[in-house]
């Protein structure tokens, strides 16, 4: 039987960092030394090929141009690889995993993002478990077909759907959560695959790469006391095409007239406004309270139970598609790749 061929893509992040002896700050180092640090990789029942960003980055420097670079690497190696593991800093990993889920239409192979809270050379590192198990999961096959056929994120014994995750902790090993969607795989003595939750892509459809992303967008987190001036100034940004409004609870906002009017005028100018809850879990239900009824009436789009990370990626993706206002709303409110319930 042919063993799976996994492509390991190194973009940067703590997993491959070392401490600068002079400053004490963590910085990226050469990928070849990363592999030397994990001889265990040779024991896995798969072949591993590697590719690295020329200049690995701290993921705080992540941007759409790098998302495109990762998507292109996957596209170029799609036929020769059975699965992909992307080593990425944890800070913006959920954003990248979300973006890739929209950019890789009809994906039928695993793309697993992972990283670590401690560098791979650290005695107490979480990097080895995260990396080794990610490769094992990417290698899982049934009837010579990959078991996982979507973009995922693996961290601290759990595989999540990538576009459902959020970084929730800056120091715990359990750094991510997927509050609105169940875990896809749990890693204990055995790997427990929760098959009923896996994405089932269209049979026979070939991979389609979407490389255009429109970043003329803003995210506005509401807070009691948000001022008219600030809101007006954001909505008057030249070329602004979409705004994610992080609202309270089930999608509620202040119902003051100046606020609703600003949103209404912006929607009339063609700016898409998406309602996403500030809560880590649960869903926007516009109309449940009086404080969200008007939002629905003026044409605010419901982000339902999407994460802000997924909504940002989806907004950039859909804005590049020249959709009518009606089509845009319909597409945004339905699931493209499992990002919404």
Residue recorded with tokens 């982000």: 303
- Selected catalytic residue, list 11, 14, 96, 308: 14
Q: Which stretch binds ligand ASP (CB under 6 A): 8-16, 43-51, 158-166, 230-238?
A: 8-16
Q: Is 165 in the site for ligand ASP (CB under 6 A)?
A: no
Q: How far apart are CA 172 and CA 100, in angstroms?
A: 25
CA distances from 38 to 42, 155, 234, 244 (A): 8, 17, 48, 42
Are 120 and 127 in contact by the 8 Å Cβ rule? The answer is: yes
Active site residue 14: yes
DSSP string computed for 120-137: TTSTT-SHHHHHHHHHHH
Neighbours of 326 (CB within 10 A): 9
Considering only residues 301 through 320, tell me which ones interact with ligand ASP, judged by CB under 6 A: none
Q: Is 11 in the site for ligand ASP (CB under 6 A)?
A: no
Site string for ligand ASP, 37-76 (x = CB under 6 A): ---------------------xxx----------------
Q: Which residue is nearest to ligand ASP (CB)?
A: 89
Q: Is 89 in the site for ligand ASP (CB under 6 A)?
A: yes
Number of residues near ligand ASP (by CB under 6 A): 11
Dihedrals φ, ψ of 196, to 5°?
A: -65, -20
Considering only residues 104 through 123, tell me which ones interact with ligand ASP, judged by CB under 6 A: 115, 117
**What token pair was written down for 168?**
């929730």
Measured over the CA atoms of residue 308, residue 336, residue 93 and residue 239, the dihedral's sign is: negative
Q: Which stretch binds ligand ASP (CB under 6 A): 10-18, 44-52, 126-134, 198-206?
A: 10-18
Q: Which stretch binds ligand ASP (CB under 6 A): 7-15, 218-226, 241-249, 267-275?
A: 7-15
Q: How far apart are CA 225 and CA 217, in angstroms?
A: 23
Q: How far apart are CA 341 and CA 336, in angstroms?
A: 11
- Cβ of residue 253: shortest distance to ligand ASP, in angstroms? 32
Q: Is 13 in the site for ligand ASP (CB under 6 A)?
A: yes
Please give the residue ranges that form the binding site for ligand ASP (CB under 6 A).
12-14, 58-60, 89-91, 115, 117
| Catalytic residue positions, numbered | 14
């Amino acid at each position: 039987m042919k063993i799976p061929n996994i492509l390991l893509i190194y973009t940067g992040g703590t997993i491959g960092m070392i401490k600068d002896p002079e400053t004490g700050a963590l910085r990226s180092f050469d990928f070849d030394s990363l592999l030397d640090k994990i001889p265990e990789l040779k024991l896995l029942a798969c072949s591993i090929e590697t590719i690295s960003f020329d200049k690995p980055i701290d993921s705080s420097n992540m941007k759409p141009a790098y998302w495109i670079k990762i998507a292109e690497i996957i596209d170029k190696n799609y036929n020769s690889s059975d699965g992909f593991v992307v080593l990425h800093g944890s800070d913006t990993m959920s954003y990248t995993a979300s973006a890739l889920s929209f950019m890789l239409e009809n994906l039928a192979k695993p793309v697993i993002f992972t990283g670590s809270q401690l560098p791979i050379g650290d005695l107490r590192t979480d990097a080895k478990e995260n990396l080794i198990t990610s490769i094992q999961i990417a290698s899982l096959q049934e009837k010579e077909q990959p078991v996982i056929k979507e973009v995922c994120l693996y961290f601290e014994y759990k595989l999540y759907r990538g576009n459902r995750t959020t970084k929730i902790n800056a120091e715990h090993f359990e750094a991510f959560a997927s509050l609105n969607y169940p875990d896809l795989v749990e890693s204990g003595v055995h790997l427990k695959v929760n098959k009923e939750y896996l994405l089932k892509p269209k049979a026979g459809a070939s991979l389609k790469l979407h490389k255009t992303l429109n970043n003329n967008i803003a995210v506005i987190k509401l807070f009691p006391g948000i001022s008219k001036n600030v809101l007006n100034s954001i909505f008057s940004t030249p070329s602004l095409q979409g705004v994610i409004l992080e609202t309270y609870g089930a999608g509620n906002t202040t119902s003051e007239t100046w606020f609703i009017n600003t949103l209404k005028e912006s929607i009339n100018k063609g700016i898409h406004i998406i309602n996403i809850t500030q809560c880590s879990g649960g869903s926007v239900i516009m109309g449940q309270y009086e404080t969200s009824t008007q939002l629905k009436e003026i044409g605010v789009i419901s982000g339902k139970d999407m994460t802000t990370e997924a909504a940002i990626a989806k907004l950039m993706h859909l804005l590049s598609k020249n959709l009518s206002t009606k089509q845009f709303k319909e597409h945004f409110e339905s699931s493209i790749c499992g990002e919404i319930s």
